[in-house]
């Protein structure tokens, strides 16, 4: 099944009655895209990609202009996906019933996302409903649909590496997250934010740092 077909199969309404991976708790950002990935529990994660971040609340300092939210898809209304899907109702047309249509309606808009508490959900271990925290869409501002370039992992890693040349690490951090291909490569973004990508490139001899803190990409890599 293609990505487009899968997005069309995932519902935002008609759900059955029945994890946060970032320090962010509230922010505004431009929605650049939505994609899906299988997770370790044989379920589907829906990943929302944001850029141009305005951090409102966070458990720790978050200096990056980009983030992604992973919400596990679940057809139960009383689920984290159910809470998020319900929160989109006032910001999308009534005929939006799947994730593909949700993407078309919200793509390129500046969304206000908030991690809210008090959502009662079934806890299998406790055998009762307990209060959970979930991501909700609490505001949306204008915007135009965007076309996001994509590429394979090796392609985007090469792009990120090439962008280092002639910059300080701080300047590179500001520019690399704005690249449309890089910012939809979740694995690469995790490496950059986790500070493993640059050390690996340096250790492999792909980039060096001069006495002024300027990065230089090896010619055979550029």
User: Is 89 found in the same domain as 23?
Assistant: yes
The residues, any chain, with a CB within 8 Å of residue 158's CB and separated by 6 or more, are 221
Retrieve residue 188's tokens.
């690469």
User: Is residue 103 domain-shared with residue 37, that is, in the same domain?
Assistant: yes
> Helix axis angle, 186-193 relative to 153-162, nearest 10°?
40
State which of 111, 141, 171 marks the end of a domain.
Answer: 141
Same domain, residue pair 93 and 113: yes
Extract the runs of DSSP E, i.e. beta strands, from the chain: 24-38, 44-58, 66-72, 110-123, 128-141, 207-209, 215-217
Query: Is residue 17 domain-shared with residue 102, that is, in the same domain?
Result: yes
Question: Would 129 be classed as within a structural domain?
Answer: yes
**Same structural domain, 163 and 121:** no
Q: By three-state DSSP, how is residue 129 classified? A: strand
Handedness of CA 9, 93, 70, 100 (dihedral sign): positive
Is residue 99 included in any domain, yes or no?
A: yes
- Nearest Cα residue to 49 out of 62, 59, 36: 36
> Is 123 within the bounds of a domain?
yes
- Looking from the CA of 52 toward its CB, the CA atoms found within 13 Å total 11
Residue 31 lies in a domain: yes
Is 147 inside any structural domain?
no
Pick from 141, 173, 200: which residue ends a domain? 141
**How many structural domains compose the chain?**
2
Rounded to two decimals, the pTM is: 0.64
Where in 59-209 does DSSP place strands (E)?
Answer: 66-72, 110-123, 128-141, 207-209
Half-sphere exposure of residue 192, counting CA atoms within 13 Å on the CB side?
A: 29
159/106 same-domain check: no
Q: Which two tokens stand for residue 169?
A: 């690490």
Q: Which two tokens stand for residue 156?
A: 């985007």
Please report whether residue 183 resides in a domain: yes
Residue 149, pLDDT score? 42
Confidence (pLDDT) at 197: 86
Provide the residue-wise pLDDT of the chain in tens; the chain has 222 residues: 566 666 776 667 656 444 557 899 999 999 988 888 887 778 888 889 899 999 999 999 998 898 989 998 988 888 999 999 999 988 888 888 887 788 778 988 999 999 999 998 888 888 888 888 999 999 998 765 444 444 444 588 888 889 999 999 888 888 887 787 777 677 787 788 878 888 888 888 889 999 888 999 987 654
User: CA nearest 181: which of 214, 156, 146?
Assistant: 156
- Which of 141, 167, 202 marks a domain boundary? 141
Can you give the pLDDT at residue 142? 79
Domain limits at 188? 153-217
Query: Per the domain annotation, does 163 fall within a domain?
Result: yes
CB-side neighbour CA atoms (13 Å) of 172: 23
109 lies in the same domain as 163: no
Helix (H) or strand (E) segment spanning residue 80:
helix 80-87
Q: Is residue 33 located within the same domain as residue 129?
A: yes
């Amino acid at each position: 099944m293609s990505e487009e077909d899968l997005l069309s199969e995932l519902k935002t309404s008609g759900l059955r009655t029945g994890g946060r991976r970032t320090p962010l708790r509230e922010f505004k950002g431009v929605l650049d895209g939505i994609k899906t990935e299988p997770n370790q529990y044989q379920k589907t994660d829906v990943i929302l990609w944001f850029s141009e971040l305005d951090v409102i609340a966070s458990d720790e300092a978050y200096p990056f202009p980009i983030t992604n939210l992973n919400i596990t898809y679940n057809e139960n209304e009383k689920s984290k996906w159910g809470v998020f899907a319900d929160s989109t109702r006032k910001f999308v047309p009534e005929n939006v019933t799947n994730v593909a249509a949700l993407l078309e309606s919200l793509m390129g808009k500046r969304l206000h996302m908030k991690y809210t508490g008090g959502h009662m959900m079934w806890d299998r271990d406790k055998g009762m409903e307990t209060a959970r925290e979930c991501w909700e869409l609490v505001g949306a501002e204008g915007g135009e649909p965007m076309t996001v370039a994509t590429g394979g992992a090796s392609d985007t890693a090469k792009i990120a590496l090439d962008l280092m040349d002639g910059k300080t690490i701080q300047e590179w951090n500001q520019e690399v997250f704005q690249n449309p291909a890089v910012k939809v490569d979740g694995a690469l973004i995790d490496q950059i934010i986790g500070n493993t990508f640059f050390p690996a490139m340096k250790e492999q001899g792909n980039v060096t740092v001069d006495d002024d803190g300027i990065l230089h990409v090896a010619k055979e890599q550029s």
